[in-house]
Structure 1
């Protein structure tokens, strides 16, 4: 069975998943990294498109007549202590909130737009909030006019910055995936019964059981409807148990 046939059957065939306990650990690690990458594609596309669009809109906003504000040590300060709210400078809302008066829940209720809060930009789109700190953008001591100039320069540097951010997010997701596999494999040992299974076998089975839950549920989570993290854990564990029960119990010799 070649690599892609194994990948395809890991979606539904519990016997193939069970037999994966004999696969090399290095091959399985690469398999997990590929699964997480495929599952993350919609998220990475959404993140990059939203960030580029939002920064372009922010650049247009700063060209309009806005209240004076400035950044000092990566912290936003404005002349007016009240929240500045405007729906005319872009498609959506734009607000300046130097004291974090509005919570993220309240921002989501405003639909789509951009918020400048105390220490970060917040880009609200499709029911999600993407944040980028001023320090990450190199904005420490900046006035409104300087910020407009910096944002224009940032648009040229943005592809490299987004590549770095996307890579770091992928590493974080991969780390979360391996931690989850390790914990679930340990718990699955409690259900092995009299089967000759060790922790390494359970780890390999659990790694291949991720295929369907991670790809399907994460795509649904990003594209259709939010999925709680417990759903990933429970569905993966059910597939692990189904694969384990397909392994026959050795008969005792007389």
Structure 2
């Protein structure tokens, strides 16, 4: 029988197929908490990046609006201005500023421009160090606004923005956790095909899968946010590989 502390179990779930396999005996309630903990650890870099980029982006945008840039309007949550061509300028010390009502610039192209603000058809894009975060106009309550109105609203928003971002991050965490539980449930269902003659039920495979996500989710999500984008299929494939390897480590009952 394996008896480990919570942190030892967490650490060994990164690499030990025997510990992952033995997790089929853990209580379902502690495993649900374990999955939430894994999602929190894996998503922390993304949430920190989102928070810092949005805070600095709004401050940067407020400073840019004080400069001589063309007038524009936001009507019914969409951007309008007098020209069909994008307006691009670089403001000293603040980065670039772009008005692009037709979404001519793709997100990948904007990230290559490094630091700046882009106003696109339905959203702001804040770019900092090659990372971009988008905020829809409707989320900020911007339905009918001119450049001057927007400047005042952005100034007012700065005091409320940290609370707004915490609310957004909380909602994102709930969404990620729901996606994780759905993925664990589906992968455990598929794992039934690989149990062979082992005495495993669906609940056992669900618990094994919930612990098998430790390394793939944390490592790949951190790499995806901090280094290089990772396709979603890599999360699925690597997790399922851990599940199958752990199942195969469980001895097959001997025939009488």
Give the alignment's TM-score, normalised by structure 1: 0.95
Which whole-Å CA distance do the structure 2 matches of 1:191 and 1:208 have between them?
Answer: 17
After superposition, the C-alpha distances for 1:189-212 in whole angstroms (9 at most, x for unaligned) are: 111111011111111000000111
2:37 aligns to what?
34
Q: Map residues 201-216 of structure 1 onto 2, 5 A cutoff.
A: 201-216=204-219
Note if contact 1:57-1:90 (Cα within 8 Å) is conserved in structure 2.
Answer: no
- Name the SS for the 1:131 alignment partner: strand
Of residues 80-89 and 114-123 in structure 1, the stretch that sits farther from structure 2 once superposed is 80-89
Which whole-Å CA distance do the structure 1 matches of 2:26 and 2:41 have between them?
Answer: 21
Note if contact 1:119-1:134 (Cα within 8 Å) is conserved in structure 2.
Answer: yes
1:16 maps to 2:19:
yes
Task: Tell me how far 1:89 sits from its aligned partner.
Answer: 4.8
Note if contact 2:9-2:19 (Cα within 8 Å) is conserved in structure 1.
Answer: yes
1:198 aligns to what?
201
Where structure 1 has 5 or more consecutive residues not aligned to the other structure, the ranges are none
Where structure 2 has 5 or more consecutive residues not aligned to the other structure, the ranges are none
Match of 2:148 among 145, 148, 163: 145
2:108 aligns to what?
105
Note if contact 1:188-1:240 (Cα within 8 Å) is conserved in structure 2.
Answer: yes
Match of 2:178 among 175, 195, 209: 175
User: Between Structure 1 and Structure 2, how many residues are aligned?
Assistant: 253
Give the alignment's TM-score, normalised by structure 2: 0.94
Which whole-Å CA distance do the structure 2 matches of 1:197 and 1:107 have between them?
Answer: 50
Which whole-Å CA distance do the structure 2 matches of 1:89 and 1:135 have between them?
Answer: 29
Task: Tell me how far 1:109 sits from its aligned partner.
Answer: 3.5
Note if contact 2:118-2:126 (Cα within 8 Å) is conserved in structure 1.
Answer: yes
Match of 1:135 among 126, 134, 138: 138
